[in-house]
């Protein structure tokens, strides 16, 4: 398929095309210069055991997150799944934002017509000031433009501030299906329900709307979709109404918000025990977990160590394990894998991924999907070579 573009040229290439408003042409051209990835989906019924690359909020290391451009680039780079975080608008539409706090990733704070919408609210028990998705109709959301979430580390992405609209889940699926037809390989959707209990209290049921959209576009249990959540009860309710595989998200510390409000609510520590994981296996196909839950971390050496008991217990139960989040910048890497002292320089994230693949993970969330695709290719080649040696 040609020679892949050097990674340092992504900002230069993308900026030039965006300035000329030729994004569709840009992504079509990229098709002929980028590898198409492993063409692999791991899920129920796929019959594949190659780990999947999950584009975390799209190719969010290269473009502002949760935009059609970021999802498109992730697909061209070879991601197996794209991951939209979902919140709701005032009129009940599912849109892709990491938070319902719009000023974190849109230009709403600069829009004088919406200045009176600024409020202080309690979201999942945390007091937050800003502009909130549930106070805007979809038509109003469509007047906003995306901005970079972490500008100090991703200055190249800041060049795209104000150029991309906020997509709905339906638009993301339409894009995905169109690119499937062009590329000729399946592309999975991996939506996360954000703050489902919070929206329920506002009379906005996220589960029903999500299933309606997925079913409308023919997404079912064919290994092309996972639904994930940090909460528990909404996943259990989903398990009762759909056969789509569910992923229970977990953190090292804390408690799911819906469990905090219950007298005997579970903490993530409770859920991470052998018994807790057995309970999770009763309604979920897998777990999405913070990286230190998979491998032990050696602070003195600044490197990852051996697999944790959590990892061993999860695999013994047949749970899929998808750790989050891999990022190429030195700032996010173990000290032993940093290329230099500059926080926004790229380090050796492929080596980090290899350590987790060796531990047996079934996929991983990453901001830079092209690095993930290369890591999978290296891992697969190594596995094939080792198998050939054993058979000789």
Q: Which residues are catalytic?
A: 56, 98
How many CA atoms, within 13 angstroms, populate the side-chain half-sphere of residue 72? 23
Cβ-Cβ contacts under 8 Å for 259 (sequence gap 6 or more): 231, 232, 233, 265, 266, 267
Q: Which residue has the tokens 């979709």?
A: 225
Q: How far is CA 337 from CA 66, 197, 262, 330, 353, in A?
A: 28, 39, 42, 8, 11
The answer to whether the CB of 27 falls within 8 A of the CB of 76 is yes
- Nearest alpha carbon to residue 214 among 183, 246, 249: 246
Q: How far is 133 from 89, CA to CA, in rounded Å? A: 5
Strand partners for 321: 287
The answer to whether the CB of 199 falls within 8 A of the CB of 88 is yes
The answer to whether the CB of 129 falls within 8 A of the CB of 100 is no
């Amino acid at each position: 398929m040609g020679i892949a573009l050097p990674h340092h040229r992504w900002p230069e290439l993308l900026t030039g095309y965006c300035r000329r408003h030729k994004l569709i042409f840009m992504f079509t051209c990229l098709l002929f210069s980028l590898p198409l990835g492993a063409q692999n989906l791991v899920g129920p019924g796929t019959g594949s055991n190659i780990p999947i690359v999950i584009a975390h909020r799209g190719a969010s290391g290269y473009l502002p997150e949760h935009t059609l451009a970021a999802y498109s680039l992730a697909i061209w780079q070879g991601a197996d799944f794209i991951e939209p975080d979902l919140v709701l608008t005032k009129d009940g539409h599912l849109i892709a934002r990491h938070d319902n706090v719009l000023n974190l990733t849109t230009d709403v704070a600069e829009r004088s017509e919406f200045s009176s919408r600024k409020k202080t609210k309690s979201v999942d028990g945390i007091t937050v000031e800003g502009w909130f998705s549930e106070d805007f109709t979809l038509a109003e959301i469509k007047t906003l433009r995306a901005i970079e979430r972490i500008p100090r580390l991703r200055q190249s992405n800041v060049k795209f501030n104000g150029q991309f609209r906020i997509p709905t889940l339906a638009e993301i699926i339409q894009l995905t299906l169109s690119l499937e037809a062009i590329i000729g390989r399946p592309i999975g959707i991996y939506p996360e329900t954000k703050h489902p209990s919070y929206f329920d209290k506002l009379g906005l049921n996220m589960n029903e709307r999500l299933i309606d959209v997925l079913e409308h576009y023919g997404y079912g249990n064919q290994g092309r979709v996972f639904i994930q959540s940090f909460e528990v009860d909404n996943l259990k309710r989903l398990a009762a109404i759909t056969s789509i595989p569910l992923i229970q998200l977990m953190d090292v510390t804390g408690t799911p918000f819906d469990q905090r409000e219950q007298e005997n609510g579970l903490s993530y520590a409770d859920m991470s025990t052998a018994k807790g994981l057995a309970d999770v296996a009763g309604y979920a196909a897998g777990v999405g977990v913070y990286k230190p839950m998979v491998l032990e971390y050696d602070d003195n050496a600044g490197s990852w160590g051996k697999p944790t008991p959590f990892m061993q217990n999860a695999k013994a139960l047949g749970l899929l394990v998808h750790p989050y989040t891999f990022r190429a910048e030195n700032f996010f890497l173990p000290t032993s894998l940093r290329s230099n002292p500059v926080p926004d320089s790229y380090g050796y994230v492929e080596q980090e991924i290899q350590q987790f693949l060796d531990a047996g993970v079934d996929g991983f969330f990453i901001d830079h999907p092209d690095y993930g695709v290369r890591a999978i290719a290296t891992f697969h080649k190594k596995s094939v070579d080792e198998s050939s040696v054993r058979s000789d």
